[in-house]
Amino acid sequence: MPAQFAVFGHPIAHSLSPRIHQAFARQFGIALEYRTIDAAPAEFVAAVRAFFAAGGVGANVTLPHKGAAFALADERSAAATRAGSANVLTRLPDGRLAAHNTDGDGLVRDLTERHRADLRGHDALMLGAGGAARGVAWSLLEAGVQTLTIVNRTPETADALADAIGEPARVHTRYWDDLATLGSYDLIINATSAGVLGGGLQLPPSLVGARALCYDLAYGNAAIGFLAWAKAAGARYAWDGLGMLVETAADAFALWHGRRPDTETVYQALRAAG
């Protein structure tokens, strides 16, 4: 029986993760089964435990379960611990679960290696302060972002993230209602769940600097609204998170199989497929 893997989310039917992991597996001649599991928040922990009890080897975790995945794990990587969220769960030999967070590394690799963006010195605005934002904030700063301004509809959540980062000279929070008066930024990261959940963001075009790079952590249909706004506002670059998805999947694959796949061929195939 092929090794069992899955991605947990709610909703999750749209996920490209099964296609990505099967493509990676073909590079090495590995037989595996990878499926989507839709679990509502109240059902998530039981669904994860049932999956691993039935022989599951590893799981990816996406919206809205990253915080819950971190909480139920027995061991946590440094990246997961500082973010307080996890996007990868792995069954250890003794049956316990290890949590990792590969979001930040995946985002930075996509931006700097695939898109050739130099993040050093950028003044960045991050929309959202939930699990996705927590997964990438530290990595953006480590990649050389000069300042990071976090704006969230619930100010307390943004303040908690800024406090956890602990760099008050570089990391600031602002109120959502003040977006129209914040001025412009040369890097804008959409880490909200609005697109995934079918909602829209009403954002002022004044946020977009003359040479701004705008990036949505979501991909496909979920990113269309934000990218359309960015282009209309004059952004120099507007990218979705498809490359980040492929890179984070590669990190998970390497954790599970001990071999790192080629990501560019898979990314290009998915992009060509629309």
Q: How confident is the model at residue 113 (pLDDT cuts 50, 70, 90)?
A: very high
Residue count of the chain, please give it. Answer: 274
Q: What is the pLDDT of residue 195?
A: 65
End-to-end CA distance of the chain: 32
Q: What is the pLDDT of residue 198?
A: 57
For the chain, give every residue range classified as CATH 3.40.50.10860.
Answer: 3-101+244-273
Residue 7 CA: distances (Å) to CA of 127, 150, 245: 25, 28, 12
Q: Count CA atoms within 13 Å of residue 274 on its CB side.
A: 0
Residues 212 and 210: their CA atoms lie apart, in Å, by 6
Residue 246 CA: distances (Å) to CA of 66, 151, 163, 241: 18, 27, 30, 9
Mean pLDDT, rounded, for 250-264: 98
> What would be the CATH architecture of the domain defined by 3-101+244-273?
3-Layer(aba) Sandwich (3.40)
Q: What is the pLDDT of residue 99?
A: 98
Q: How confident is the model at residue 199 (pLDDT cuts 50, 70, 90)?
A: low
Mean pLDDT, rounded, for 189-216: 87
For the chain, give every residue range classified as CATH 3.40.50.720.
Answer: 104-240
β 88-91/56-61 pair status:
antiparallel
Please state the separation of Cα 128 from the chain's center in Å.
12
Q: How confident is the model at residue 1 (pLDDT cuts 50, 70, 90)?
A: confident
| pLDDT averaged over every residue in the chain | 95
- The pTM assigned to this predicted structure is 0.95
The helix or strand, by DSSP H or E, that contains position 247, with its residue range, turns out to be: helix 242-257
Q: What is the pLDDT of residue 193?
A: 83
What positions carry a catalytic annotation?
Answer: 66
For the cut 60, the answer to whether the pLDDT of residue 65 exceeds it is: yes
The pLDDT tens digits for 137-176 are 999 999 999 999 999 999 999 999 999 999 999 999 999 9
- Name the CATH topology of 104-240: Rossmann fold (3.40.50)
Mean pLDDT, rounded, for 25-45: 98
Listed range (67-76, 127-136, 246-255, 263-272) with the worst mean pLDDT:
127-136
